[in-house]
Homo-oligomer: A and B are copies of this chain.
């Protein structure tokens, strides 16, 4: 065990070990394989911007044209055929948007503090990140994709039939967030964390999902708080 003295010297962000086969620091070239207007891709760019990390290259894919399902993409970038994927250097490909955000924020050279060091607060941050992927994204992001990207007229009958259910789920998810944010500034701890960043991506453009954010005033104020952060960048930037 390391001593209490040593523990006190550990900075508030966590220190991750770099091994010889993992020199993938921000000194290495970062490429983001993305769909530029997707919230999942935006999360990674927003995280990088808040951290002051430069993503050197953005490669945009057209999901509607199945560009992430080509044999080349599946073999080299992501066998799961999804976006975004953070590429570190030439050969390291990291899928899953929330894992990519975590990787960036976990940079031991970063001065920002998007990952709480406290054990319970860290678990609560992950709790909201899993909530985002399991409960939030499958209704709020899907409604946005259908309404704004595909267009309701182009949906299949099965998709159209799912809209009322997705709207009901979306309202429940937003009620949970509203309840949590009432009396709080941030989702976890007393500062912005990855929980806020990943939940912000699809929440700040609720109108594109066909939802009215003014029904959830604590969420609306929190959106303004994120937009006021130093180094904030917009989705379309």
Contact = CB atoms under 8 A, between A and B. Distances in A.
A98 to B, nearest CB: 5
Nearest to A165: B158
Contacts of A107: 119
A131 B96 contact: yes
A144 to B, nearest CB: 16
Interface in A153-212: 158, 161, 176, 179-180
A149 interface: no
Contacts of A7: 15, 17
A34 interface: no
A6 B2 contact: yes
A102 B102 CA distance: 14
A158 B108 CA distance: 49
Contact of A123 (B10, B94, B120): B94
A236 interface: no
Interface string A121-139: 1111011011101110110
Contact of A98 (B16, B102, B117, B126): B126
- Copies of this chain in the oligomer: 2
A80 interface: yes
Given A10-B15, A80-B176, A127-B94, A122 B134 contact: no
B123 A102 contact: yes
Contacts of A2: 6, 9-11, 15
A106 interface: yes
Nearest to A130: B96
The 7 closest A-B pairs by CB, nearest first: A16-B119, A103-B123, A99-B127, A2-B9, A96-B130, A99-B126, A96-B127
Interface of A: 1-3, 6-7, 9-12, 14-19, 22, 24, 79-80, 82, 88, 92, 94-100, 102-103, 106-108, 117-124, 126-127, 129-131, 133-135, 137-138, 158, 161, 176, 179-180
11 contacts: A2-B11, A10-B17, A14-B14, A24-B119, A79-B180, A98-B126, A99-B126, A102-B123, A129-B130, A133-B133, A134-B137
